[in-house]
Homo-oligomer: A and B are copies of this chain.
Amino acid sequence: MSEKTRLGNFFEDFYVGQTIAHATPRTITEGDVALYTALTGSRFATTSADTFAHSLGFPRAPVDDFLAFNMVFGRTVPDISINAVANLGYATGRFGHPVYPGDTLSADSTVIGLKENSDGQTGVVYVRSCGVNQRGQIALDYCRWVMVRKRDPASPAPESVVPDLPAAIAASDLLVPTGIRIEQYDTALSGSTDLWNDYQVGERIDHVDGMTIEESEHMMATRLYQNTARVHFNQQAERAAGRFGRRLIYGGHIISLARSLSYNGLANAFSIAAINGGRHVTPAFAGDTVYAWSEVLEQLLVPGRKDIGALRLRTVATKDQPCADFPYQTTDGRYDPSVLLDFDYTVLMPRRE
């Protein structure tokens, strides 16, 4: 093996406090937006039309928040998770400055926790990753933790540091993009008259539609984000030695599909403000049909705004299981086998005064 080839970091390469500047900054373009629409079917008016976005006070249509998230995530993979066994969870993600076509995102990650597993083969790495635009404005940051292989099982375990991550981003910490106003908000164009006031805590919404995923679709999405994790691309290696015998679908594509499906029932959730937590419960594969449902967890007041409110949501994506019965967990806390994604996040929505 030439020393020129990078094989990525193993568990013992990380230390708490380490900051890694990720390679390959990325200019986001209208081409990325078109592909995102073609791959997810997203229909939210704010990201679909400059005119609608302008009526809200955006200078033009921002890109979908999960497109930005997946782009930042993609940058981190070669350094953080190329040798990961599993992507365990997300927490305390917050969206800041909207991303517009023409913006260039760079990313870095800081190691905030390490815990070797008892088997001595792997360990959990906790990082906070941050995506900034070309003016140094933070587009988003979020924590995730992954199980990473050790290069050498004999290497000593580091001191365990497990970060104390809050269950959710507080309402007082949510950021509403500068200049947003909703007096011209047109519910005929957004596709629903249901505003923040019309949702109730505990309400469950079946998003009805199902979307079957093809190999080329998830690979195109994942390459668009320049995410290089091998399990998504190499059928030969997966067949020979993979855990499932086939390519796994990148979890971020499932998040994007769930968000797109959620338009039917949450059409006025014009912006994502936070990722409170999230877990990829089961891997998805080509041929799976993805469905989604959501539950309103909290109805949050946004400080200083009477015209915009926030909803904390749980969106659950399933495979091959329509969601009229809201499949989730059994009474013992185990997930229904159809559940792919359990995602806790906070959206912004116009509010009637």
Contact of A234 among B43, B101, B212, B221 (CB under 8 A): B212
Query: In the assembly, what is the distance between CA of A161 and CA of B116, in Å?
Result: 69
- Within 8 Å CB of A203, what residues of B? 2, 4
Q: Does A35 contact B (CB under 8 A)?
A: yes
B33–A35 touching, CB < 8 Å? no
Q: Does A97 contact B (CB under 8 A)?
A: no
Query: In the assembly, what is the distance between CA of A61 and CA of B4, in Å?
Result: 25
Contact of A30 among B1, B30, B49 (CB under 8 A): B30
Pick the interface stretch among A118-126, A143-151, A171-179, A222-230: A222-230
- Within 8 Å CB of A199, what residues of B? 4
- Within 8 Å CB of A61, what residues of B? 27
With both chains docked as a complex, state the minimum distance between the C-beta of A126 and any C-beta of chain B, in angstroms: 22
Q: Is the contact region of chain A dominated by helix, strand, or loop, or is it mixed?
A: mixed
Copies of this chain, tallied across the complex: 3
A224–B37 touching, CB < 8 Å? yes
A204–B33 touching, CB < 8 Å? no
Query: In the assembly, what is the distance between CA of A194 and CA of B2, in Å?
Result: 12
With both chains docked as a complex, state the minimum distance between the C-beta of A49 and any C-beta of chain B, in angstroms: 4
Residue of B with least CB distance to A233: B211
Residue of B with least CB distance to A320: B236
Besides A23-B188, A24-B48, A39-B220, 11 other CB < 8 A contacts? A4-B194, A4-B198, A5-B264, A6-B191, A31-B31, A31-B32, A41-B233, A51-B104, A212-B233, A212-B247, A235-B287
